[in-house]
Structure formats: C-alpha cells, structure tokens
Structure 1
C-alpha cells in the first residue's frame, strides 16, 4: 500500500513537526523514506551535539516557530508570504515543500561521512547527497517536476546561509551567483538556513543572539528583492 500520502498530509498540516514525529513513532516514516534510518545513526560531530534525525526535528520546530511568529520586516513580509503561499502544484504550496525540505536537508550525511586521521567526523558535501536523495523522495511521492525542483533547491543549497555567516562574505559576486542559481527560491533557502543554523547553535551556544543571524537573512533577501530582481546595481 502506498503510504506517501501520509507525508503529504504531514507537510500540509499546521504542525508538521508533530506529525512527522508520529509517523516515526509508528514506524511508518522509514517505510516511506528508508534513508531516515541512517539519519538516526549519523550526525554527531564537532558542530552537532545530536544525531541527524533529532537535529532535523529541532530545525522543523525552529521553522514552524518562525512562521507562527511572523515577525518578518515590513518591507519583506508580503513578498515572503507571497512566495510561501504560491501553489507548487495542485493542493501543495511552496511552504509545504519547504517544510519537507527542512526535514530532508541533512539526509545525505550518511553518504558523505568521513573520518580524518585525528578521528574527527566530517560530512563535507553532504548537501549534494541530500539533493540527490530529495529528487528520489520527490519521485517516490509522485510530486510534480516543479515540486521536485523546489525540493532539490532547498536541500542542495541549504548551506548557502551558513557559508555566508561563517565567512562574513556578502560580496556582489557571491550573492549574484546565489541569485542567478535560485531566483525566488532564495527566499525558501534562506528561511531553511535560518532554521538549520538556529537549531544547531541553540545546543552549542544557547546564549547566541539569533537576531544576528536574522540580519543576514533579511539583508540578503532585501538585496535580492529590491536590487537584483528590479535590475538595480548592487
């Protein structure tokens, strides 16, 4: 019996995190997405205190909290919600696919895992594996090609924000490359990146001010919407 509809119902609900946890508890989640099993077995490293599955649940919580609070800057709010509420396919919105993307963003870590000569665990390039797995998940769920592309973009490029944040590099060339690649999907990728980083940092640096991270997100989206998209030099 095809149980993919259970995932679709979960991402369309007002509490996707709770629904995903129920599917996991009932043993259904791994039947729909077999790679979930490996998510529970990897993930702990210098930067992550919990396994990959637990981290993605925390990230989903952060994302849904961000949506509920709805405290986006006034000059971005309408554009963000217009993007999130855009229909990706019949009865599925961008926000639904984005929640699935949040859950799948680190699913490629098992494939990317390496251990260096000092015994340290690394997951370099895991986003590429996550993107490929997301394509398969989308096909298995019988999503439209547009939805599958969205899911791929969210997972494949979710590291963009972290890279900018760590390097403090929001140069013209760096941002133009992002915008050229993602177009409007930069909105979803930045929101996913925020949820991802915040879920990680709260366990490592609980006193870290998340407003600093939001500043990066809102600055990037401002440049995209008001300069790049309007063909204004930046």
Structure 2
C-alpha cells in the first residue's frame, strides 16, 4: 500500500494536479482498520493522470464510465483496488458534500498523507461522528440519488458497531420504497456484508422494526406477519424466523455448544466459499431466515378449526428460488437455498418417527449429501426458536443430543463413503465382471456404499469385489 501512495504523490507533483484520497481509506486510517481499496478524487485531467499512474504500476486502466470519468486499477498481486474519479464541484469540499455519510466525507491530499491527522479535510464534521460512533447522512437527497445507501447505512452499523442518527433513520423511513428500484446484485453486495457479521439477526431485526425496509428488500415477508400462529407457534412466522436467525447465530458462534470434533467440523464446513466471496455460513443464515417463508401460501384450516401449514417447505423453496434469482445469486447458491428450505423439516420428521435405523439415516444422508450439517443446524435452530417461545424453561437437550447423534453418524460413517474411488471404481467393476457398458454402474456403487455404511462389508477391495459378485 505504501508503494501505491508514494506513486500517487509522485504523479500529483509531476502533473501538477491535486489528488485526494477520500472516503473509506481515510475513515479506516482514523479507525485503525486495514483497507484494500483506495478512492481518489482528481482535480483535473483525470484520464491523463490515471494513465500515467497505471504505466508506473504496469497495470491496465478499467473504465467504469467515460461520461462520469470513473476509472479503476486493480493490483491483484497485492489485492488492492484503486478507484479514480473527477472532482464534483469546484473544490474538494463541494465534492465531499455530495457523498453518502459524514464518516465517508473525509479527504486528505496525497501530499499530506505522511502527517494526515492535522491535514484531514472534513467539511461535514465526519471526525466528530466517528468519535461518537454515529452514522449520519450528508444531504437530504442522499437516499434518492442512490437508494442502496439505506442498506449501506446498516452495513456500516454492523461493521463498526455504530448507531444510526435519528435524522438519518427518519429519512430512510421516508424514502424506503426507492430500494425496489435497485438492481439485485447491488442489494446482494450490501446484504452479504451484513450476513458476514456475527450479529446479523440484530441488524435484520433493526431493518424490520426500526427502519421498515426489510420488506422493501424482501416483499415476500409481508404476508408472514399475518400467519404462523398455531398449536406449535405462539408468534407470527416473521417473528419466528427472525428469532431462528438469532438462535442459529448463538449456536454457530458459541465456543462449546457441540462436542469438540463436531464443532471443528462445522467450523471448517461453514467457512467454505460457495461463490463470489459468499461463504456457506452466510447462506445458512439466509436459509434460517427464509425457512418458513412458504407458510402464508400453504396455510389451511382443517375441519376441527386447526391451522396447518403442510407442504410449506415446498412452496417456500419455490419462493426462495425466485428471491435468489432476483438477487442475481449464482445457480449453486440458488440451489443451496432451495435445498435448505425444502429439506429443513427432514430431521424433525425422523425425530418424531423415532427411527434412527441405518436404512433411514443412509437415505437422509444420501439425499442431503454435503449439505447435511447445514440442514441439521437450521432444523435445530428452528425447533429451539419454536419451543423456547412456547415454554422458556423447557430443556432443549433432547433435540440437541439427537442432532449431535445425526451429525456424528454423518461425519464418522457416511462421509467416508461419499467417495469410494480409493476402494473400487466403475471401470474396475466393468473389467472384473465383464459387464456391458449399459449396466448401471452407479447403482452397483450405491449398493456398495450402502453395504459399507451398514457394516455388511469392509472397505477392503477383495471384500467389496466378493460382495458385488454376490449381488450380481
């Protein structure tokens, strides 16, 4: 980063132009937080200055908008992104007055960065707001000019543990409907930064209760406020879903909730990157929040007057698929959310049937595959969120022990046989038994895996070949 800043300073002097480092980089300097991005404002001859700087770094210039003179240079080796734009207005102060929040309306001339503390340009009192932990809008049309700033305000709250100024809260309430106009990918960008926070449930609750913007992002949740209360639920579906998200975070971030080997397995599993820097953990949180989104469309009242929601997991899965597509999530992410919602009742069905036989568990693990731990976690949070509201003193130990039993079986018995190419391959089966290519080798391999899981045959190749000979 020091090399980048030195080159910016050198180009500023050589070209006799003002280059200001603005926004997040200056804010993070004050907060002693690392930065991977630098935003720069150039007083004049922007394209010429950017090209000169790019030549020094032997990098390409990416144009983000010729008309607005927006340019980007990416240094992949050092994971640094530098954005350049022309100055809006006749001075850097006028430029800063058009930014989103006061904590981002700060600038330092690159020439002064070595002793920046006394050289910060701060026309909106951003330093005072940072010191007081406040997020405040800069100008009254800030959310009309860019509605995504409403979500960004919450994201900054979650990142810095700051509070939202009352005037900003009122302004978001006033202009909340504008969020609907935003492209899905921009909403997703801010949303996943909130999901990355350890206290996502608090900020989802804040968006719902304080800002009333959660329904603008997910209009599908509006009907959830009016359904859900039944024999097992004493609150509406949306309240339950927000509580489920809170419970799942309590479980995920607890130090000693599960047995140590299960905790380690979860820790490694949830940190997997699914796509576009979105972790499995973020999607699990979304799955927990959306698990009952199908209840309004599945609501039925039987002959006795009892409210039922049979099939809500199926209708909910279709709804969450549409949400994923609207947010421009990847196909893998979309399918994962679909699976979370459609299968979240699976563990509870097994629990109620009191059937943990090898046949039943193998069938479940075969269907859920690598997402087994995720769905066990969502199911556990769902049950705790339900039962704790019915009876706050109820001991949830039984369902937790049941969940750990399933997780243990999956980790110690099923995971070892998900791939058995180290024991036997389809090609070896064809060669050893002179089978035609048309024979369903996949079915034979599935029978082998099932037999190993149930203890009918060992993992030794000779035993597996003998077993195949017998079943053929």
Residue pair 1:89, 1:147 contacting (<8 A) in 2 also: yes
- After TM superposition, the structure 1 = structure 2 runs for residues 44-193 of structure 1, keeping only pairs within 5 Å, are 44-71=229-256, 72-193=258-379
Which 4+ stretches in 1 moved above 6 angstroms?
none
Moved more, 25-34 or 113-122: 25-34
Aligned to 1:24: 208
State which of 371, 393, 402 in structure 2 corresponds to 1:216: 402
State which of 191, 195, 200 in structure 2 corresponds to 1:11: 195
The CA RMSD over aligned residues, in Å, is 1.4
Looking at structure 2, the residues matched to 78 and 66 of structure 1 have their Cα atoms a distance apart, in angstroms, of 13
Residue pair 2:196, 2:282 contacting (<8 A) in 1 also: yes
Query: Normalization by structure 2: what TM-score?
Result: 0.48
Tell me how far 1:5 sits from its aligned partner: 3.6
Larger Rg: 2
Tell me how far 1:142 sits from its aligned partner: 1.0
1:233 aligns with 2:453: yes
Provide structure 2 residue ranges, at least 5 long, that are not aligned to the other structure: 1-181, 418-451, 455-472
Looking at structure 2, the residues matched to 86 and 67 of structure 1 have their Cα atoms a distance apart, in angstroms, of 14
Residue pair 2:199, 2:249 contacting (<8 A) in 1 also: yes
Residue pair 1:4, 1:32 contacting (<8 A) in 2 also: no
Moved more, 2-11 or 75-84: 2-11
3-state DSSP class of the match of 2:230?
coil
State which of 211, 216, 220 in structure 2 corresponds to 1:35: 220
Looking at structure 2, the residues matched to 183 and 79 of structure 1 have their Cα atoms a distance apart, in angstroms, of 15
Tell me how far 1:75 sits from its aligned partner: 2.2
Provide structure 1 residue ranges, at least 5 long, that are not aligned to the other structure: none
Looking at structure 1, the residues matched to 261 and 285 of structure 2 have their Cα atoms a distance apart, in angstroms, of 24
Deviations 1:44-70 (A, max 9, x none): 001100000000111111111111213
Looking at structure 2, the residues matched to 221 and 55 of structure 1 have their Cα atoms a distance apart, in angstroms, of 25
Looking at structure 2, the residues matched to 216 and 133 of structure 1 have their Cα atoms a distance apart, in angstroms, of 30
Tell me how far 1:6 sits from its aligned partner: 3.9
State which of 365, 381, 385 in structure 2 corresponds to 1:199: 385
Higher strand share: 2
3-state DSSP class of the match of 1:69?
coil
